[in-house]
Structure 1
Amino acid sequence: MDFQTACDRVAQHGVAMLAASGSNLHLVAVGTKQPGPLARATRFCVTAYVSRKLSTQELESQGIPSFRALYADAVEGPQPPDDDLDVVESETPFDPLCALRVPRNQRGGFGGPPPAVDTQRWFPSLRCGIGIANPLDGFPESLSAGTAGFYVHDGQGGTYLVSNNHVIGRSNQAARGEPVVQPGTLDLTSLELDMLESIDALLDQTAVAELSAVVPIAFSSSARMPTNRVDAALAKLTPSGRLHGELARLAYGGSILGVAEPYRVDARGALAGSTAVYKLGRTTGYTEGNVVGLAGTASIQYAAGTAYFAGQLVVQASGENGGPFSDRGDSGSAVLNDRHQLVGLLFAGSRRQTLVNPIHDVLAQLRRASEIADLDVITG
């Protein structure tokens, strides 16, 4: 199957395959069955992601339709060749890698150990990949943390941080002007929490930005199943005593050098653009991976309901990574390629794969939501 045909199949029929009666699919995306990285592929397929692969007998005994049957029903065409379809295990469904949110009396059991360079600490100079939160999501009884992905500016001197709607926009519930703090409230020590017991005291010491715009997440219902492109929000930096001279810089060092071009195929039918990527996040720090799927359509379960996302990048950790590409609290992280160009905004994942909003969709929708046409990424 050529690349464009595979993209069309996923775009036109992805939601139907995910939402079909009995379907056990979490995600469908454009992949390849050829050995080696996706960047070397010349023949593509539609890949389905399931928690666990089941035998034909297991599918029949549990009343679950096979991916081949779901595909044929959705496309309403002849049975495709075996090379046109693939099934991959995700181990778990894909969920928002939420701003970690836990009751205060359980804070010691969550959050994971700090990365080698502690992205969970207080930063005197704001950088990409450090921990943040919207404290109005239950503080002080509930504590949370997500990631500041990258920063943008407008033509009028305004500077903003970018993260997920579900991190700083409270999944559509936040109002314009709500605060963003650094570090996230989950990353404050017990002594700091005792000292900053009131919301006013917390903001006085840790506020760095105010919510400017949110791209609303459209949730599905029995009557309609809209698709989303991004889970993104924008917060304007405020006078806080923090330095703003390193906004293109990653917490570990190095800088965002540009914005990657969208993935496409060249004249030979091969994918153009590097699929080797890395990210820097609040929980797992620096991790490396590979884009293994493009133009993905996924079913994501939020607290408010199910939302379908289309056009997503699928990333899997590199073999030498020694762990997952991302985990809870990494939501909002910037994902970059091996040329240090911004590829997208991390927002959800399973135990094996991570989902990323393509950067051009993120910027386009933030410009529309904020009504700021000249928002541009701050680069080094």
Structure 2
Amino acid sequence: MSRTEDYEDLLECKNVLGVEYDDETNTLTVFVSQKLPDSELADEDNVKLRVSDVNLEVEDAGFEEEREGFDALSRVESLPEAQADRQKRHRPVVGGVSEINAKESAATAGPYPARITDTSTANWSDAASEGDLVRLSNNHVYARINDAEFGEPIIQPSPTDGGSLPDDKTGELLGYVTAEDGAAVDVAARSIDPEQDSAEYHELDDSWPTTVRREDYRSLKGKTVTKTGRTTGVTQSQVKATSASVRVRFGDAGTLTLRDQCIAGAMSEGGDSGSPVFLDSSGELVGLLFAGSSRQTIFNKIGNVESELGVELLTDEPGDGDGGSGGGGDDSATYRETLSETVSVAVGTPQLSLVSFSISGSPSPGEQVSATARVSGSAKGTAWLSVDGDRTTFTLAEEHVRGNRYLKDVSLSFTAPDSAGDSFDVDVDGGYVLDSE
């Protein structure tokens, strides 16, 4: 079965900024910096000549010249002015107002409260503990595209909007997911002061977020979403894509490819990075805005934000004794089950887990199948994977470090069963190769 990543080679074409393949409708949507006639495109840059057997749609991003990516919205060359009330000093801080790292320009204070659930998932300061509450925004807002040191001050309002140290400091950088090719999120977290941070969102209903979406993002396609941000305030648009791979320009930090992104229509400008995104009909929190153009807005899935950073978004302020540095929690907490699996843990040995498993093409019964398994390991060394008993060994090394884990894509092959119908199951096992001694 095809997927969006199978079409990422199109990102090498002139003008192509993003792609999404929808297997339910067999539709490939290609986002381009500007539409050009076939006569101005070389054959290798003409998407219509490079794909077949799909319904092709081309979306114009509205740029006036060829571009290599969408813009990260606090890294644009000229930031628009903020809405007047959003560039003011807000205490307590609410989501949607001007806030950024003190060494940057201007962006938006994002979702709060988020509770740290796993400090081994991403990059976290030693000062961060599981159970602590944090406020979120983008990596390029709080962490300066991986360049910031833990403890760097975050200020509200942003420097461009008149904020300065020490009076306007709201917290310090505590954690972030590394911004790199293949990432699913652009997110970072700062420390909070419970007396100086509010769970409200500027100019939105006090009950929002009503819930947090953690699955079924495809059903958002065509739905209206709402964001609240520093520059354009409260705006709405319709969702166009829910599993896109996009190229994004991060200023001097270069251009990166991010995967599994949602794309809506025009509803943001420079400085809106970090804006929380909600489903307009219900107030459900669905995303974290980070990039776009004059005609599109790109946001991370909030479920990916939680899993990649190791946090849980809460729908209101936690009660006394809940969310501090330690366990516990009050009896009013809701424990929502989203997974139930049996995991084999070998005591005293490094752990290997399967992050994703995908195949190339559409295999027929009895055919050889090429597959890619993304694995996460707790230590470097030699590891192994077995698909239906066919074992492959590989090495996890320093080059595979992602935060506190080792992440690698492993190429595999196996034979589809002769009795395969519309689908078939395969058994995937794995672990580390232990020294014989």
The TM-score with structure 2 as length reference comes to 0.62
**Cα distance between partner residues in 2 of 1:68 and 1:9:** 18
Which residue is 1:50 aligned to? 32
8 Å contact from structure 2 (residues 108, 273) kept in 1 = yes
Q: Choose which of 140, 146, 164 in structure 2 pairs with 1:166.
A: 140
The answer as to 2:6 corresponding to 1:17 is: no
**Cα distance between partner residues in 1 of 2:5 and 2:76:** 31
* Superposed CA offset, 1:18-47 (max 9, x none): 12xx53211112469xxxxxxxxx735111
Give the Å deviation of 1:203. Answer: 3.0
8 Å contact from structure 2 (residues 220, 239) kept in 1 = no
**Cα distance between partner residues in 1 of 2:94 and 2:56:** 42
Which residue is 1:96 aligned to? 72
Which residue is 2:50 aligned to? 70
8 Å contact from structure 1 (residues 153, 378) kept in 2 = no
More strand by share: 2
* Superposed CA offset, 1:288-310 (max 9, x none): 01111121011112222221011
Instruction: Determine helix, strand or coil for the equivalent of 1:345.
Output: strand
The TM-score with structure 1 as length reference comes to 0.71
Instruction: Determine helix, strand or coil for the equivalent of 1:147.
Output: coil
The answer as to 2:83 corresponding to 1:135 is: no
The answer as to 2:263 corresponding to 1:314 is: yes
Q: Which has the higher contact order (CA 8 A, sep 6+)?
A: 1
Counterpart AA for 2:46: S
* Superposed CA offset, 1:49-88 (max 9, x none): 112222222325xx662112233xxxxxxx315xx11111
* Superposed CA offset, 1:85-123 (max 9, x none): 111111224110016687xxxxxxx532526xx222111
8 Å contact from structure 1 (residues 31, 292) kept in 2 = no
CA 1:209–1:101 in structure 2 vs 1: closer, same or farther (change >3 Å)?
Answer: farther
Which residue is 1:186 aligned to? 160
- Rg bigger for which structure? 2
The answer as to 2:234 corresponding to 1:286 is: yes
CA 1:124–1:352 in structure 2 vs 1: closer, same or farther (change >3 Å)?
Answer: same
% same residue: 30
1:143-292 → structure 2 map (5 Å cutoff): 144-151=105-112, 152-154=114-116, 158-188=132-162, 202-218=164-180, 226-238=181-193, 243-244=196-197, 246-247=198-199, 249-254=200-205, 255-263=208-216, 271=219, 275-292=223-240
8 Å contact from structure 2 (residues 212, 315) kept in 1 = no
**Cα distance between partner residues in 2 of 1:378 and 1:207:** 25
CA 1:101–1:87 in structure 2 vs 1: closer, same or farther (change >3 Å)?
Answer: closer
Paired residues, number? 295
**Cα distance between partner residues in 1 of 2:233 and 2:220:** 28
More helix by share: 1
